[in-house]
Amino acid sequence: MAELAWRGIWSKIMASLAVVLLIALSFGGNADNIGEEFTDKGLNRSLITFASARAINGLISVAQGTEVAIQPGGIGAVLTPGQILDPINDLVEQFSQVMLFSAAVLGTQKLLIEMSAWVWFSALLSSFLIFWVATLWLPDAFAPGTRRIALAISGLLLVLRFLVPLAATTNEAIFDRFLATGYEEANQHLEVTAKELDTEKKTTGTTEESKEVDDTLLGALAEFYESVKVKADVSAKLEELKDAANKTAEVIIDLIVLFMVQTLLLPLIFAWIGYSAIKRLARYALETPDEKDQDVSH
């Protein structure tokens, strides 16, 4: 009997220490600062990739309106090689919408972190945690079921206070572990293509720099137009253009998958966790305390 009483006392002491730690964490803001930092990193990634996508969209729009006149076998013909890029143009537009959605999700996540870090919210959480501890140490001073309700409300406030910062931290950890390498490779390809838009009258095969970017979409377009000027094999250059377009499409699809995982799948998982926790807490608060539960509180 004495051993059971000591167990009850130690459980109350541990609960009290946990409450002190949670209150300090809530007012300290360390979790919020880390969550905001990771959210800002994700937001910057999405905005940079969105800018690259819009630049590539402009490139394709220009290419689609370009006509090239050739005379194979003495017969005049006009080619519009940019029409090959129609499918990828649609994909780039959809990709831009995905990136805009990702930026909006991350911006909302940052706002929720700032709202949960409001000092009066932390004060409300602390009040209910302290009240719950009081029901542990002074059970006879409160009506039956009060401890359950206090614990349930405290748990609900804890979910609202720390779920989003925890989700942001976990999201970034998963990105660093599984997604960072794929993002760097894919985004580098898009950035190289986008930066090429600032090059005036790009020529192929004249410098080492131009050779490094010949496998990009813009490089393939430039080679095609140059090949027409020098009467090169146009059909072969068209195939190269198609290959470059397909490669860019693969890169865009990889980035779509990556950002959908980070800004749709993972947030939905955490939203489900939060919903399940709140539902269980509500059910716990409405349950009638049994005799065993009352004995433990003493």
Is residue 45 situated within a structural domain? yes
Indicate the pTM of the whole model: 0.78
pLDDT given at position 61: 73
48-62 per-position pLDDT tens digit = 899 888 888 877 776
Q: How many domains does the chain contain in total? A: 1
The SS3 call for residue 216 is coil
Mean predicted confidence (pLDDT) in 178-186 = 91
* Domain assignment of residue 55, yes or no: yes
Tell me the residue range of the domain where 77 lies.
Answer: 29-118+162-287
Is 241 contained in some domain? Answer: yes
Range of lowest pLDDT (193-202, 230-239, 240-249)? 193-202
Q: Residue 298 class from Cβ within 10 Å (0-12 exposed, 13-18 middle, 19+ buried)?
A: exposed
**150 is a domain residue:** no
| All residues at 6 or more sequence positions from 234 whose CB lies less than 8 Å from its CB, including other chains | 70, 72, 79, 224, 227, 228
Question: SS3 for 80-113, per residue?
Answer: CHHHHHHHHHHHHHHHHHHHHHHHHHHHHHHHHH
| 27 vs 195, higher pLDDT | 27
Q: What single string gives the DSSP state of each residue in 22-61? A: HHHHHHH-HHHHHHHHHHHHHHHHHHHHHHHHHHHHHHHH
In DSSP terms, 78 is beta-bridged to 69
Tokens 């004495």 sit on residue:
2
| Whether pLDDT at 295 is above 50 | no
Residue 123 lies in a domain: no
Position 4, amino acid: L
Question: Which residues share a beta bridge with 68?
Answer: 79
| Bridge partners of residue 77, in order along the sequence | 70
Tens digits of residue pLDDT in 8-36 = 788 899 999 999 999 999 999 899 999 99
**Average pLDDT, stretch 61-74?**
56
- Tokens standing for residue 205: 């095969």
Q: State pLDDT tens for residues 183-194.
A: 998 888 887 776
Band the pLDDT of 249: cuts 50, 70, 90. Answer: confident
- Considering the domain boundaries, does residue 183 fall inside one? yes
Residue 5 included in any domain: no
Q: Rounded mean pLDDT of the chain? A: 80
Question: Is residue 206 domain-resident?
Answer: yes
d(CA 45, CA 184): 10
